[in-house]
Amino acid sequence: MSKGGDLTACDKHGWSVLQYAVRYAPIPTIEHLIDDLGCDLRHKERKGWNCLHLAARNGQPEKARLLLEKGIDVNETQDQGQKILLILKVNYNSFNFKRLECSSPGSSLRPAGYN
C-alpha cells in the first residue's frame, strides 16, 4: 500500500481490501489495515454484508472480536434492515457466539431487542 494502492477500491462483488483480509489474512494484517491505513470498518458489499458478517459466517470469532474492539457496530443493519448478529444467529447456528465475548466490562454482543 505504500506504493499508492487504493484502499477504497472494490471488486465486482463490492468486496473491499479489508473484507478480503478478514476472510483470508491473519489478524495482524487486519489490525494494520484498520489502525495504520484507516480502512473503513463500515463498508458493505453489494448485498449489505460487512466485515463482521464475514468473520462470523466463516467461523472466525477471534476476527469478529477484533472488529468489535475496533468499533464495528453490532446493531448496524444490512440492506434489508436486519441486525447483524440476529441474522447470523438465525442463518449460521453453527457459529460459536459464546467464544465471541467483548473484553470490555459491561459490554454485550446481543443486539438491541434480541432475546
User: What pLDDT digit, counting tens, does each position of 79-96 carry?
Assistant: 777 676 665 665 555 455
The residue to which cell 453489494 is assigned: 46
Residue 83, strand partner residues: 77
Do the Cβ atoms of 61 and 55 come closer than 8 Å?
A: yes
With a cut of 80, say whether residue 72 has pLDDT above it: yes
Q: Where are the domains of the chain?
A: 17-99
Q: Model-level pTM?
A: 0.69
With a cut of 80, say whether residue 40 has pLDDT above it: yes
- What are 72's three cell numbers? 464495528
Query: 17-99 maps to which CATH number?
Result: 1.25.40.20
